[in-house]
Amino acid sequence: MKIGKIGIIGAGQMGNGIAHVCALAGFDVLINDLTQDRIDQGLDAVRHNLHRQAARGQVTDAEIEAALKRIKPALSLDALGDVDLAIEAATENEQVKRRIFADLCPKLKPSAIVASNTSSISITRLAASTDRPERFIGLHFMNPVPVMKLVELIRGIATEDETFQTAVEFVKVLGKTAANSEDFPAFIVNRILLPMINEAVYTLYEGVGNVEAIDTAMRLGANHPMGPLQLADFIGLDTCLSVMQVLYEGLADSKYRPCPLLVKYVEAGWLGRKSQRGFYDYRGEKPVPTR
Ligand SMILES: NC(=O)c1ccc[n+]([C@@H]2O[C@H](COP(=O)([O-])OP(=O)(O)OC[C@H]3O[C@@H](n4cnc5c(N)ncnc54)[C@H](O)[C@@H]3O)[C@@H](O)[C@H]2O)c1
């Protein structure tokens, strides 16, 4: 099946990143959110990020202009009637996503594929709530979307081969690489990455090392580009905690129990970069470890 026009639901950091890479790759994009304000903020972010790429010599002014022309706001889901692919990138809440699919699916043409960018909710379960489980798939982009090369493809139990092949082709056209994951909690990247981050927090909690020692050890000792605690602050500690909870509950294995120190940071509202404080304090000129 050929994809030409794409609808994106949710204009937040992931939705606007997906719109950005789709438009640059030549797809027509409609972007939807709850309010015109949020759509405008999403479009501003796309413009800003395209110009950042231009400053690095990765895109030309003509490509920016053409990409921006291809993205149109869609305040109502009614406008998505002729899209070939709808990608849901709204808030990580199952009820919110289910409501979106209930509103969206009757408006789509029967052949349209529906994808979710969820980081943790079961694709099979989301698919079952729609009128087209065979044309439903998980397309898990990484943050920040314009920079990160990987897209995880997650088939639900009912996802048909044609849907899967169309998704494989689509990811290729975006210039990204796909990794196929079965539909298990947190898929591949977060299943491996988050327990490592959680273990780094345990290492801190038990006093094996302080923030600086742990991050330096993993950067220089394991050749990681970022230390695990620095990375946790970048992802958001609330997001880290919620993925650990999904693993802990979904796999019913105590090895995934979230570290109490991670819980404490989240309870304090120290969520990492987005709240200016996490394992580092970002309020000054340079990040300062908080432990
Ligand atoms: N942030 C990450 O690092 C990351 C990485 C991969 C996947 N994801 C997944 O991507 C999705 C979006 O995450 P995000 O980080 O962009 O969140 P975000 O909070 O930045 O954006 C979510 C957007 O969805 C909108 N929204 C909520 N309900 C809606 C509705 N009914 N209709 C239309 N829009 C609605 C919100 O207004 C908001 O603008 C989540 O499922 C998340 O798990 C996030």
Instruction: Name the pLDDT band for 200 (thresholds 50, 70, 90).
Output: very high
**218-232 pLDDT, tens per residue?**
999 999 999 999 999
This prediction has a pTM of: 0.92
Average pLDDT over residues 122-140: 97
| Distance from Cα 212 to the centre of ligand 1, integer Å | 32
Centre of ligand 1 from the C-alpha of residue 12, in Å = 5
Ligand 1 contact, 190 CB (< 6 A):
no
* pLDDT band at residue 290 under the 50/70/90 scheme: very high
Question: Is pLDDT at 132 greater than 90 in this prediction?
Answer: yes
Helices 189-205/237-251 angle, 10° precision: 110
- Alpha-carbon distances of 26 from 146, 177, 217, rounded to whole Å: 14, 18, 43
pLDDT tens digits for 16-56? 999 999 999 999 999 999 999 999 999 999 999 999 999 99
Distance CA 99, CA 90 (A): 11
| Amino acid 72: pLDDT | 98
Distances (CA, A) of 226 to 35, 219, 243, 245: 36, 6, 20, 24
Domains of the chain: 5-181 (3.40.50.720), 190-278 (1.10.1040.10)
**Does ligand 1 have an atom closer than 6 angstroms to the CB of 11?**
yes
The reply to whether ligand 1 has any atom less than 6 angstroms from the CB of 86 is no
pLDDT at 92 over 90: no
Ligand 1 touching residue 80 (CB < 6 A): no
Judged by DSSP in three states, 231 sits in helix
Q: How confident is the model at residue 212 (pLDDT cuts 50, 70, 90)?
A: very high
The pLDDT of 207-211, averaged and rounded, is 98
Q: What is the pLDDT of residues 4-20, one digit of tens each?
A: 999 999 999 999 999 99
DSSP single-letter state for residue 141: E
CB of 96 sitting under 6 A from ligand 1: yes
The predicted structure's pLDDT at residue 62: 97
Nearest atom in ligand 1 to 99's CA? 31
Return the pLDDT at 195.
98
Q: What is the pLDDT of residue 16?
A: 97
Q: pLDDT at residue 259 above 90?
A: yes
Active-site residue numbers? Answer: 119, 140, 152, 190
Separation of 11 CA from ligand 1 center, angstroms?
7
State the pLDDT at residue 46. Answer: 98
Show the beta-strand stretches assigned E in 105-234: 113-116, 136-141, 150-155, 177-181
Residue 107's nearest CA partner among 79, 128, 126, 72 is: 79
Q: Assign 208 a pLDDT band (cuts: 50, 70, 90).
A: very high
pLDDT at position 1 over 90 = no
